[in-house]
């Protein structure tokens, strides 16, 4: 890959991915309802949102597989509709579903994808080595016979084998066990360190913290876009985490508290949001301890908590929004 | 070109690995050919013959004996009454009535010609035609023998329909297939059907499979162009279908003794052109089908048209005009015709040039349509 020449075509490489007012409809369904955003160079950018939010549609537009109905998308400074043949050799794409040849072996898949990009596995050795070394001992095995985590690593190798400048990973960790997920994010961290721009989507909000910046997506719209910590700090309610006790009863009791905005399970705790903005969470925690004790839930302990991206997302989801269709 | 080579290598590797597909390509068609060629028979054994002998002479009785002893006919009854014969046919006790008129022997001796009337139950038109041709052959042969037995006289023929003027004789000779051996014309036709179905189905399913497992998307983000992808798919399938055709041709020659009067290289060459059309249809199916199952259903729909509107089982001329129009859109029709012309009549390149031209045009058209459709879908 001759990056120098390609760079000449890409004047705006500080933002390798730029999306402006993109709209995509499928019949009556609006999959993307005017999305605008930009990805910075060598960052991990995450699209976070539930299934059906429009993440995959946006990925397919950015990877030149779909044409937007309106708006404009540029990858490496090139238009995804007009310059698709210039873009394709320079992007890596890993679809959400395992999409390699199940009847070909690990090495055959890898060699094949290298060859259609006009390169070889050896030429990409340094890029894929950290990942490929983990599956190399299965090189003769048919892809169909690999475990979920192995398949995912093979798919990542195939997406990287031509040394792309931008990598698009559509829900790479869906259906993968927790250990493999952690390993996978560590690999992404290494790739990013080597200067690769990575765009990733996930329905798991706990993975948001692994991204440099995230966009919260719902119903084809971006609700928030910023670094995960910044988004968390924008949380407008005092937040309390409650631990212990009978979970279901505690949840019910919290929701009955007069100032409650919401209460939902958050890992091992329950996150409680209070309507009195500006109040001290620690004071509210003490109130809650009393409230719970009065209801015989002595085992539960409340303490002030730092809002995370999941809290913001839950809040955004629960806030009624004016609908475009209305 | 390098990219195409890699695509081809991958495709052949996958095909070689897929046992089901190999069986589907190389074994099943041979089994089908062996089965169908024996089942799709127009041969009629033991048609039930009702004799109405109004002549009652040695010659007339000998004629009836000759018909029955040929093994093609079984005696269903005889009488001097047409009414009884009619009733027998209505009751489905007789398939054919042979009416030998009074003075049959005398006319035969005196004017060298005499009519015999054959009345056939033509509910099953194909069977009736075959029965008629058997009877004509036997009667003609019998007459020839009588003539030969008397020196100085030429053989004379007699036959249906009657009543005929004494000098109006039916001399039927089945050219190119004197024995009306149905296998000679069915086997090449069935072989064409088989490679058409296999070619269309394999192409449709194979490409739809890439769509279904998502590898088509994966390929679409690579610099592989549409033309390369399609060529990478079709060249292997085309070559396999051609091999299959060759195997079938060998089976036709060795097992069924189908005559190879014309050039075998010529039919293989035409098959190479023809398969472009057959595979093009498969490609087109794959552009409109989202899953392998859908691809199969669409192909099955096409398959019935392929089969029944090709002139293979029923003559084109007996179809209504609109059906003949559809049949003329069926590439199978042309190739079946070419196969029969070359193998049975020994037709040469110039004889079949118009049909080959149509096939080539057809292939180009279907192909263009399919590629354009494919381009639209992947936009």
Q: Which of residues B359 and B307 earns the better pLDDT score?
A: B359
Cβ-defined contact of A93 to B3 (cutoff 8 Å): no
- Please give the Cα distance from B192 to B329 (Å, whole number): 16
The mean pLDDT value of chain B amounts to 82
Question: Is residue B135 in a domain?
Answer: yes
Name the domain boundary from B127, B149, B171: B149
The candidate with the shortest Cα–Cα distance to B256, out of B36, B92, B9, B29, is B36
* Mean pLDDT of all residues in A175-193: 88
Look at residue B24 and tell me if it is in a domain.
Answer: yes
Does residue B120 form part of some domain? yes
Question: Between these two residues, A13 and B273, which has the higher pLDDT value?
Answer: B273
Interface of A with B in 161-180 (CB under 8 A): 162
- Same domain membership, residue B138 and residue B111: yes
Indicate where chain A has its CATH 3.40.50.300 domain(s). 3-227
B33 and B73 inside one domain:
no
- pLDDT, residue A314, reads 80
Residues B220 and B367 in one domain: yes
Q: Are residues B328 and B190 both part of a single domain?
A: yes
Residue B160, in any domain of the structure:
no
Minimum CA–CA partner of B8 in chain A: A112
Q: Is the pLDDT of residue A231 over 90?
A: no
* B257 and B278, same domain (yes or no): yes
Size (chain B), residues: 379
Closest by alpha carbon to B11, among B200, B233, B212? Answer: B233
Please indicate, yes or no, whether residues B126 and B53 belong to a single structural domain of this protein: yes
CATH assignment at residue B79: 3.40.1710.10
A302, β-bridge pairs:
A242
Instruction: Among B134, B149, B164, give the residue marking a domain's end.
Output: B149
B119 domain-assigned: yes
Q: What is the pLDDT of residues A157-176, one digit of tens each?
A: 999 999 999 999 999 888 78
Alpha helices in chain B (DSSP H): 2-17, 19-22, 28-39, 58-69, 82-90, 104-111, 125-149, 182-212, 215-220, 226-254, 264-288, 292-308, 321-328, 331-340, 349-377
- Looking at domain A236-306, its CATH class is alpha beta
H helix or E strand, kind and range, residue A35: strand A29-39
Of B14, B218, B223, the CB nearest to A99: B218
B289 pLDDT above the threshold of 70: yes
8 Å CB contact of B219 and A116: yes
> What is the reported pLDDT for B173?
53
Over residues B89-102, the mean pLDDT reads 88
Same domain, B115 and B186: no
Ranges in chain A annotated CATH 3.30.70.100: 236-306
Percentage of chain A surpassing pLDDT 70?
Answer: 94
Which helix (H) or strand (E) element contains residue A34? strand A29-39
Residues B215 and B319 in one domain: yes
Residues B130 and B196 placed together within one structural domain of the fold: no
Phi then psi for residue B308, to 5 deg, are -90, -15
* Shared domain check, B95 and B67: yes
- B191-215 pLDDT, tens per residue? 998 899 889 999 999 999 998 988 9
Cα–Cα distance measured from residue A102 to residue B127, given in angstroms and rounded to the nearest whole number: 52
pLDDT digits (tens, 9 = 90+) for A101-157: 999 999 999 999 999 999 999 998 988 998 899 899 999 999 999 988 889 899 999
Examine residue B167 and state whether it is found in any structural domain, yes or no: no
- Given this model, what pLDDT does residue B149 score? 53
CATH number of A3-227: 3.40.50.300
Cross-chain Cβ contact A158/B220 below 8 Å: no
B223 closest CB neighbour out of A104, A112, A117: A117
> Residue B205: which domain range?
2-40+181-377
- How many domains, in total, are found in chain B? 2
**More confident position, B125 or A209:** A209
| Torsions phi, psi for A108 (to 5 deg) | -65, -40
More confident residue, B292 or A268: B292
Judge whether B209 is closer than 8 Å to chain A, CB to CB.
Answer: no
User: Per-residue confidence at B275, pLDDT binned at 50, 70, 90?
Assistant: very high
- Whether residue B173 is contained in a domain is answered as no
Q: pLDDT value at position A319? A: 62
What number of C-beta contacts closer than 8 Å exist between A and B?
65
pLDDT band (50, 70, 90) for residue A206? confident
Q: Do A116 and B17 touch (CB under 8 A)?
A: no
A65 vs B218: CB contact, 8 Å cut-off?
Answer: no
What is the pLDDT at residue B176?
53
Both B113 and B56 in one domain: the answer is yes
Same domain, B232 and B119: no
Whether B103 is covered by a domain: the verdict is yes
What confidence score (pLDDT) does residue B148 get? 53
């Amino acid at each position: 890959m001759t990056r120098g020449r390609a760079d000449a075509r890409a004047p705006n490489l500080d933002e390798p991915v730029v999306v402006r007012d993109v709209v995509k409809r499928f019949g009556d369904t609006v999959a993307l309802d005017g999305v605008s955003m930009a990805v910075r160079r060598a960052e991990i950018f995450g699209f976070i949102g539930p299934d059906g939010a429009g993440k995959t549609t946006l990925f397919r537009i950015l990877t030149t597989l779909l044409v937007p109905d309106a708006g404009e998308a540029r990858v490496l400074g090139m238009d995804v509709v007009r310059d698709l043949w210039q873009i394709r050799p320079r992007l890596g794409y890993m679809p959400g579903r395992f999409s390699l040849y199940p009847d070909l072996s690990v090495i055959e898949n890898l060699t094949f994808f290298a060859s259609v990009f006009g390169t070889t596995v050896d030429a990409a050795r340094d890029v894929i080595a950290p990942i490929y070394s983990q599956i190399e001992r299965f090189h003769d095995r048919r892809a169909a016979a690999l475990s979920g985590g192995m398949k995912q690593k093979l798919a990542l190798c195939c997406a990287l084998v031509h040394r792309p400048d931008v990598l698009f990973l559509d829900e790479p960790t869906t259906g993968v066990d927790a250990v493999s997920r952690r390993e996978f994010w560590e690999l992404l961290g290494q790739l990013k360190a080597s200067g690769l721009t990575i765009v990733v989507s996930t329905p798991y909000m706990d993975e948001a913290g692994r991204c440099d910046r995230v966009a919260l997506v719902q119903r084809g719209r971006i609700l928030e876009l910023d670094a995960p910590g910044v988004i968390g700090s924008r949380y407008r309610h005092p937040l309390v985490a409650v631990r212990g006790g009978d979970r279901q009863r505690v949840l019910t009791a919290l929701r009955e508290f007069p100032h409650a905005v919401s209460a939902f399970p958050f890992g091992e705790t329950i996150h409680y949001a209070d309507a009195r903005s500006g109040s001290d969470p620690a004071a509210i925690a003490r109130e809650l301890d009393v409230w719970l004790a009065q209801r015989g839930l002595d085992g539960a302990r409340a303490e002030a908590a730092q809002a995370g991206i999941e809290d913001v997302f839950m809040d955004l989801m629960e806030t009624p929004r004016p609908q475009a269709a209305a | 070109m390098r990219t195409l080579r890699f695509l081809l290598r991958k495709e052949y590797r996958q095909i070689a690995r897929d046992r089901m597909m190999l069986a589907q390509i190389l074994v099943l068609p041979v089994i089908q050919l062996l089965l169908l060629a024996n089942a799709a028979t127009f041969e009629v054994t033991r048609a039930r013959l009702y004799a109405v002998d109004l002549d009652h002479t040695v010659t007339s009785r000998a004629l009836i004996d000759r018909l029955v002893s040929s093994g093609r006919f079984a005696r269903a009854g005889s009488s001097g009454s047409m009414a009884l014969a009619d009733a027998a046919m209505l009751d489905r006790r007789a398939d054919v009535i042979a009416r030998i008129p009074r003075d049959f022997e005398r006319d035969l001796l005196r004017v060298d010609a005499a009519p015999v009337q054959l009345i056939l139950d033509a509910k099953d038109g194909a069977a009736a035609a075959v029965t008629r041709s058997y009877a004509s052959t036997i009667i003609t042969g019998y007459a020839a023998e009588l003539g030969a037995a008397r020196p100085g006289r030429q053989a004379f023929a007699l036959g249906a329909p009657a009543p005929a003027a004494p000098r109006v004789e039916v001399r039927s000779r089945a050219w190119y297939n004197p024995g009306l051996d149905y296998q000679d014309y069915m086997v090449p036709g069935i072989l064409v059907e088989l490679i058409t179905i296999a070619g269309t189905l394999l192409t449709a399913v194979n490409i739809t499979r890439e769509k279904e497992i998502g590898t088509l998307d994966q390929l679409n983000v690579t610099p592989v162009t549409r033309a390369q992808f399609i060529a990478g798919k079709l060249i292997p399938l085309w070559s396999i279908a051609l091999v299959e055709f060759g195997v079938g041709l060998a089976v036709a020659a060795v097992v069924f003794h189908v005559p190879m009067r014309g050039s075998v290289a010529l039919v293989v060459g035409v098959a190479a052109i023809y398969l472009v059309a057959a595979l093009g249809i498969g490609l087109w199916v794959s552009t409109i089908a989202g899953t392998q199952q859908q691809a199969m259903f669409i192909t099955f729909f096409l398959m019935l048209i392929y089969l029944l509107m090709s002139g293979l089982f029923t003559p084109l001329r007996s179809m209504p005009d609109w059906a003949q129009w559809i049949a003329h859109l069926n590439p199978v029709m042309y190739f079946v015709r070419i196969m029969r012309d070359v193998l049975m009549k020994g037709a040469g390149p110039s004889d079949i040039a118009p049909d080959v031209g149509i096939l080539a045009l057809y292939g180009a058209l279907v192909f263009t349509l399919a590629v354009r459709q494919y381009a639209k879908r992947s936009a």
